Amino acid sequence: MINEIKISKKDIELIQVELESNKPYEACGVLIGTISGGTAHVEKALPVTNVKRTRTSFELDPKEHYNAWNEAEKSGKEIVGVYHTHPVSSAVPSLWDRETMQNDTSVWLIAGADGMRAYVWGNGIKAVKIIQY
């Protein structure tokens, strides 16, 4: 199980810009990199269109998500997680997030009005340590 995520300052800033520029709607994207041991190494945060375009949920555009997955695979990487924003609430999983996370083994990075936190599902929500480089 993933217990930490390493992500660059540049990618954290990109996600913050996504949060601000899409307010009051949620923004989303994928985190491309590798997983080694219990660490997800993010090499690129890639914005993906939120086809729901609501204030309380997100859905990755299927075509863009597929293209991101394909791009990652071609370069020997994988999608290690997703990110999304909670521009007017805290960076904790909503009920919808919790239900969706149960079917996903990757990291969920949430940028909220109160900061950024990461989680995985493992018989419930588990916090993941964020290490910025």
Domains detected in the chain: 4-132 (3.40.140.10)
Q: Which residues does residue 112 pair with via DSSP β-bridges, in sequence order?
A: 86, 115
pLDDT-derived band at 121 (thresholds 50, 70, 90) equals very high
Q: Is the model's pTM score more than 0.85?
A: yes
pLDDT, tens only, 58-77:
999 999 999 999 999 999 99
Beta bridge partners of residue 121, listed in sequence order: 125
Say what the pLDDT of residue 27 is: 97
Three-point CA angle 76, 30, 108, nearest 5°:
115
Return the percentage of the chain with pLDDT > 90, whole number.
Answer: 89
